[in-house]
Every structure is written in C-alpha cells, then in structure tokens.
Amino acid sequence: MTSLKDRIGQLFIVGFEGASISAFHPIAEDIIEENLGGVILFDRLLAKKLTTNNIVSASQVQELTGKLREMAGDLLIAVDQEGGRVSRLARLEDFPDIPAATVLGEKGVEQTRQAARRTASALRSLGINFNLAPVADLDLFADNPIIGRYGRSFGRNPETVFRHCLAWCREHRDCGVLSCLKHFPGHGSSKDDSHLGFVDISESWEEKELQPFANCIEAGFDEAVMIAHLFHRGMDSELPATLSAPLISRKLKGELGFRGVVVTDDMQMRAITDRHGLPEACSMAIGAGADLVIIGNNLEHDPQIFVKLRDRIVRDLEDGKLTETRIEDALSRVLTLKQLIKE
C-alpha cells in the first residue's frame, strides 16, 4: 500500500447497487483497482425507489460477501443491524428477530447479551463483519424523530445504556464481528432528523449524553464510534460534530481517550449536503479527525462517487489543506481495526 491513492482509499466505506457483482461492477473496480476500504449493504435503494438491493436472501448475501472478500480479504462489510425497526436483514427468513433496544433495556442486560450473540453469529455466517450498532444515545425525548420514536435507545439512564452497549459490543467481538457506538455526542435529545436537514442540539443536549460513550471507552472498547451530524454551538460555534476538530480530535480522541476508529454517519444525509458540498465535507471530516467516511450511495446514487471523493482528498493533501500526519493516523486506526476481524 505505497501509493497515496491506495492509502486514502482505505478511509472510505461506500454503498453500491445490486444483489450480485461481477469483476466489472463499479464497486469491484473500486475494491480491486482503487483499494476501497469497505462497503455497506442495504435492503433497499432509496435513490432509485427500489424495494430490494443488496439483501434478498441468506444464500444470496453469503455469495455476495464471499465475492467481496475474494477481492479484498480484509474488506469491511458493514450493515445497520440494531434490531427492532432498524434491521436491514429482517427480510431474511431465518435471521433472528431481535427486539428494539428500548424493549431490551427494560428486560435487562442478559437479554441484550443473548440478542447480541444471536445477531453477531448470524452476521458472521452471512459474511458481514461490521455492525453499525449499538445506539449509545439516551432516550431523552419520546418524540425524537430518529431515536425515541423508533425505540432505538436502551433507556434514559446513562449507566443502563452503558451496560447494555458494552454487553452488545463484547458479544459481537466474541463472534468476530466489529461494533460501532453511535451517535456521538448524543442524538437522543434532538428534535429533528439529520437525514432531512440541519439539527441543532444546543438547547436540548445534556452533558450526561456523553456518559455511555465515555464509560464504554474506559471499559476498553476500542473499535468504532460514529460521529453524528449534530450542531451544538457550545462545542463548536460554526460546524456540526462530523466536521468539528474540537468534538472529534479534542473531546472524543483527546479527553475521552478513544483509540479506535471514528466513523462518520452517512455523508449524503441532508444535514451535511444542505450546507456543504459533499467532496468538501468529506475532506473537512477527515481533517477534523474522522478516520472512516461512510458514503451510503443510497439517498443519492453515483457509481463513480468513491473515486471522485478520493481524488478530492488527494488534491487537498497535495494543496496542504490536509496533512500527511492526519492521513497516516486515520489509516493506522483503520488497519488496526481490520486486524480484529482476522483474530
């Protein structure tokens, strides 16, 4: 991995169209020729109003992930499989039917441990190695359009959420599947949906929303934390968390001591694209301290999106807008994360 383009390629996870791929599929070319770091699977393709996409049946997913791994053995193959209403694999006949986090939070940690083991074992059997879960947000606003309304939080109490999240992550690790705490610094008190536009949590956010993240990190969690497209003027007066060095580099990596990979939420969400050009935003996120950029390629779809964004990062590095040190730190964190799926 000597070329600059190859190194930067590892810093992206990208979605793609199709239940199967050939060597001539754009995503195959991205992986084989351009050293793309990972992919993300979806059950639907919203940009084209397709009700099926990468996930049709268990055997089909196994075949798809098998071909992907043939192209790059350490490829991150990610999915959002929280349980409840956020279950990309729910249509698969034999996939475990896992309750929403709200239900598990009321039942106790042992129930979450069992649900996590069933989920991770099933993911591993399908060839998926990176689950973008659990949700570490607190359930602070029942009508929250993206957390509370969907039952995605383990509860209101930071200690409860911490214990459930840690149990989830440990069971996944034992099964050889990576986890990702989300959505830092806390989406549970928000009144709006970052998929749809700008979200300001300056008045609603509470300090205790950091506790589940901080406690998991203190307990040794070192895999991935997803940064949210949330604005808090007290933390950064200009930029949302995804693009904020004070929040990522100083707070999460510095004060909280997180040594793993900082993952962006999907950069095509309107909280970002309404205010920033996508190429600029991806560069800003990496510069702020994000290590792995997710492009769902689902809300909008462009088969060539990865190369366009990767080339923007290359230009910004050459122009001095990004530093070699930042790129090498991000790459080191991503490659360390990938070592965990080989253990």
Calpha distance 109→162 (Å, rounded): 10
For residue 324, CA distances in Å to 135, 264, 298 come to 32, 20, 31
Calpha distance 136→128 (Å, rounded): 21
For residue 100, CA distances in Å to 104, 167, 233 come to 7, 15, 32
State the catalytic residue, choosing from 195, 301, 302, 329.
Answer: 195
- The rounded Cα 251 to chain-centroid distance in angstroms is 19
List, for residues 22-35, the tens digit of each pLDDT value. Answer: 999 999 999 999 99
Is the Cβ–Cβ distance between 227 and 242 less than 8 Å?
yes
Calpha distance 14→31 (Å, rounded): 10
For residue 210, CA distances in Å to 64, 106, 150, 158, 263 come to 37, 21, 21, 8, 17
Is there a cis peptide before residue 134, judged by omega within 30 degrees of 0?
yes
Q: Looking at residue 1, what is its pLDDT?
A: 61
- φ, ψ of residue 73 in degrees (nearest 5): -65, -25
Q: Which two tokens stand for residue 216?
A: 């998991």
CB count within 10 Å of CB 92 equals 19
Query: Is 195 noted as a catalytic residue in this protein?
Result: yes
201, 206, 280: which is closest to 243 by C-alpha?
280
List, for residues 174-200, the tens digit of each pLDDT value. Answer: 999 999 999 999 999 998 777 877 889
Q: Residue 329: which H helix or E strand, with range? A: helix 324-340
Calpha distance 109→164 (Å, rounded): 5
Report, as ranges of residue numbers, the positions in the chain whose pLDDT lies below 70.
1, 342-343
Q: Looking at residue 91, what is its pLDDT?
A: 93
Q: Looking at residue 142, what is its pLDDT?
A: 87
Q: Which domains does the chain have, with CATH numbers?
A: 20-340 (3.20.20.300)
Calpha distance 264→244 (Å, rounded): 11
Amino acid at 58: A
Calpha distance 51→36 (Å, rounded): 26
Rg for the chain (alpha carbons), in Å? 18
Q: Looking at residue 198, what is its pLDDT?
A: 80
Amino acid at 32: I
Calpha distance 293→305 (Å, rounded): 12
- Taking the model in full, what pTM does it have? 0.97
Place of tokens 């990208």: 14
State the catalytic residue, choosing from 30, 80, 139, 265.
Answer: 265
Calpha distance 114→18 (Å, rounded): 32
Look over the chain and give the mean of its residue pLDDT values, rounded to a whole number: 96
Is the Cβ–Cβ distance between 194 and 142 less than 8 Å?
no
Q: Looking at residue 153, what is its pLDDT?
A: 98
Q: Looking at residue 75, what is its pLDDT?
A: 98
Q: Looking at residue 342, what is its pLDDT?
A: 65
